[in-house]
Structure 1
Amino acid sequence: MIFSLEALQADHGDALILHYGDASNPKFILIDGGPTAAGYHDVIKARLQEIHAAFFDEDVPLPLEMLMVSHIDDDHIDGLLELTREAIERDDEGSSPLYDIRTLWFNSFDEILGNKPAEIASVVASVMADRNSPILGTSVGDHFISDVLASVPQGRRLRADAKRLGLTPNLFFRNPDGSPALVAALDDGPRKLDFGNGLSLTVIGPSKKRISDLHDKWEQEIANDPSPETIAELAANADLSVPNLSSIVVLAEFGGKSMLLTGDARSDDVLKGLISAELIDNGSDTLSVDLLKLMHHGSNRNVTKTFFRRVRARHYVVSGNGEHNNPDIDTFEEMLEPGREDSDDFTIHLTNADGKHDFGTKIQAYEARKNGRGRTFSLKFRDDSALSIIVDLLEPVNY
């Protein structure tokens, strides 16, 4: 049996493949698509073609049990938009499809904010059209406002593409009238879904309350000041960011192993979600998982020592290339602080050993400090010639 997470080279973004099931007939979920269309063709599509060749005849589309967009943000969605664009183009040409996609999970900006989509879309369009706008050159947290605003029409396009391709949106999540609902956790108990073929997915976040509170806060702020500047800054505000605060977080379980996949969620929100899902209590107990995909590319803005004290893993996966100083070395240091024994062995898997803002030098210095302190954990990097780095929890992926 296979249960593996593959982190593809996505520069400063995320692009993951979850492999699970029988080794002779595994299932696949594609989670996020990185920040560029070129990355889809050069990395994601290339890797999916390798997988296809290992199991299927040329004229049979590769089954993908799900496309999941953890949140609508440029560094997670662009590659998937290129995938859907190509799929529509092939359909228009009468070519056979490359993929057979069961469902698409994503929460769009419009759906989260509910009653403001037209107003927000209009403001975004006007601000983005004015390339001299001072708003575009500013940043909040790890994002330029221009990048966050660009994700608003991206979410709309993905929704339109999904409809054009006949994809089932947000399987398992329905409103009373049968229409697709937001992918969200319950506020008072676990939402554990049987995804079939032995895989269970427990939705940890976002919570319905988090989405409701976010909607209400936006309403209040816009009522006080409905200017384009206010809406643009709200879009990227670290505490009110619709993309990050609505990030889909799931606990995937298969064959007695577990992975916590966090998107770009904040660690305090993840802890609240784990408490609501009854996986930890409101005190000081801990959750042990086999694998944790670090939130927000290892940014220390999204994680705290408290989180690492309460959630422990044998494997940590980090996708980043130094952009915005992510992954942040302080994040790795915080893993060691909350009383973790020197002999407690774990592995940090990184998609890049070098990158922007002198990341390579920083990670080498961190590794030297770690070795000097006698720590037994290890760092593993994607080989420069490889499309990805794979973490196997059961049988190894050898295709």
Structure 2
Amino acid sequence: MKIKFLKAGTGDCTIINHNFKNIIIDGGNESTYLISEYYEIKSRNERIDFLIITHHDDDHIKGILDLFKEIEIRNEEPLIDNVIFNSPRKILNKIEKIKESNLLSYKQAHELEKYLINHPNINWETSLIKELEAKINLVFHDQNLSFKIFSPSKDILEKYASNKGAYLTSDYRCDWNSSLSTLIKSIDDKSQDTSSSNMTSIVLLLMYKDNNYLFTGDVTPIRLSEIIDEIRLQNESVNFKLIKLPHHASYKSLNSEILQKLNCKNFVVSTNSKKHYLPNKKTFLKIVNSRKSNEIINFFFNYGEVISNLKISKIDEEKYKFNLISNNKDDGYVFDI
């Protein structure tokens, strides 16, 4: 199995390849490597078995739109079997009835809706379909592998689809120029992401050979805490082999309550760092402060150049016992499992 965290601008684009099958999670807002990967998949006579769009913010959906435009320019049929996309109008069963919105994320959602309507050969589902997990698990033909999808509730989706609430919110304060010794004094959970767009984010859990891999989209802390509770059931904490940090390692997207519920020493940061001053250095401190053992924490970056923006010395990495690890491929970071 390969899990690829592609370079995708300020957003996310993850590809899971196993047994000649492929899942793409999001498309970022820079599509160069996504388009290249799509045609690499095509060259192997494979398809995109599932395309999952966690939510319709620009830095998750724009790359998907770019890919579809490229396919249309080449006058090709898309090699995509299934799309999971919580379209606002599909959620409300009003595909042809809602007026266009001026909000960027809604314009892009409408554009994707039109594409999917014009290509009925692509099976389009929302994450509220009960049989969805079973359909994904059947694709890979591997008893050692299973997926679980954590969807936002119907109420949350309907509220967002009705065009209510705030969109694309973020904390623009930059902490890159502050030292870790200064920042660690102000670690707290007072500022938390509650944006309605991020609240709708789909979260995907991959379970493979007794290891858990969590793909969080931009999920908010309240929702992520609920998901961790569901995963761990009656256990005090749950072990994860790898977690993609929510919302590009924003300090507002994690809290100590969540971190106490899990054990993980490998985290992925997905962003080129050119928007909203993400990742936040305090995110790394919050994680290392919450670990339950003396193990080294690893932070993997799909863009290695982001590490230099953070201005963290090797001395500080050793002092606080974590590693900042640059992308291992030209197009991002790839894990061979």
Q: Normalising by structure 2, what TM-score?
A: 0.80
Q: Does 1:382 align with 2:327?
A: yes
Equivalent position to 1:31, from 25, 31, 38: 25
What does residue 184 of structure 2 align with?
Answer: none
Structure 1 residue 151, shift from structure 2 partner: 1.0
Structure 1 residue 314, shift from structure 2 partner: 3.7
Uncovered stretches (5+) of structure 2, i.e. residues with no partner = 171-192
Map 1:66-81; keep pairs closer than 5 Å.
66-81=50-65
- Report the 3-state secondary structure (helix = DSSP H, G, I; strand = E; otherwise coil) of the residue aligned with 1:372: helix
Equivalent position to 2:199, from 245, 253, 261: 245
What does residue 317 of structure 1 align with?
Answer: 268
Map 1:176-191; keep pairs closer than 5 Å.
182-184=126-128
Deviations 1:172-197 (A, max 9, x none): xxxxxxxxxx31498xxx98533432
Question: How much is the aligned-residue C-alpha RMSD, in angstroms?
Answer: 3.0
Structure 1 residue 18, shift from structure 2 partner: 1.0
Map 1:277-356; keep pairs closer than 5 Å.
277=230, 279-281=232-234, 285-322=236-273, 323-342=275-294, 344-355=295-306
Uncovered stretches (5+) of structure 1, i.e. residues with no partner = 57-61, 126-148, 171-181, 223-230, 395-399
Map 1:19-58; keep pairs closer than 5 Å.
19-21=17-19, 26-35=20-29, 39-40=30-31, 42-53=32-43, 55-56=44-45
- Report the 3-state secondary structure (helix = DSSP H, G, I; strand = E; otherwise coil) of the residue aligned with 2:222: helix
Q: Distance in 1 between matches of 2:292 and 2:132?
A: 30
What does residue 6 of structure 2 align with?
Answer: 8
Number of aligned residue pairs: give it.
308
- Report the 3-state secondary structure (helix = DSSP H, G, I; strand = E; otherwise coil) of the residue aligned with 1:196: helix
Q: Distance in 2 between matches of 1:372 and 1:240?
A: 33
What does residue 140 of structure 1 align with?
Answer: none
Structure 1 residue 324, shift from structure 2 partner: 0.7
Map 1:83-102; keep pairs closer than 5 Å.
83-91=67-75, 95=76, 97=77, 99-102=78-81
In structure 2, do the counterparts of structure 1 residues 19 and 345 end up closer, same or farther at CA, with 3 Å as the change threshold? Answer: farther
Structure 1 residue 7, shift from structure 2 partner: 0.8
Q: Distance in 2 between matches of 1:195 and 1:78?
A: 29
Q: Distance in 1 between matches of 2:194 and 2:90?
A: 16
Q: Distance in 2 between matches of 1:52 and 1:257?
A: 29
Q: Does 1:259 align with 2:213?
A: yes
Native 8 Å contact 2:8 2:28 kept in 1: yes
Native 8 Å contact 2:303 2:332 kept in 1: no
Q: Distance in 2 between matches of 1:278 and 1:316?
A: 18
In structure 2, do the counterparts of structure 1 residues 112 and 258 end up closer, same or farther at CA, with 3 Å as the change threshold? Answer: same
What does residue 207 of structure 1 align with?
Answer: 153
Q: Normalising by structure 1, what TM-score?
A: 0.68
Q: Does 1:271 align with 2:225?
A: yes
Q: What is the letter of the counterpart of residue 329 of structure 1? A: K
What does residue 142 of structure 1 align with?
Answer: none
Q: What is the letter of the counterpart of residue 71 of structure 1? A: H
Map 1:155-174; keep pairs closer than 5 Å.
155-165=109-119, 166-170=121-125
Q: Distance in 2 between matches of 1:47 and 1:12?
A: 18
Q: Distance in 1 between matches of 2:21 and 2:325?
A: 25
Structure 1 residue 308, shift from structure 2 partner: 1.7
Percent identity over paired residues: 22
Q: Does 1:234 align with 2:166?
A: yes
Map 1:351-370; keep pairs closer than 5 Å.
351-355=302-306, 360-365=308-313, 367-370=314-317
Q: Distance in 2 between matches of 1:66 and 1:203?
A: 13
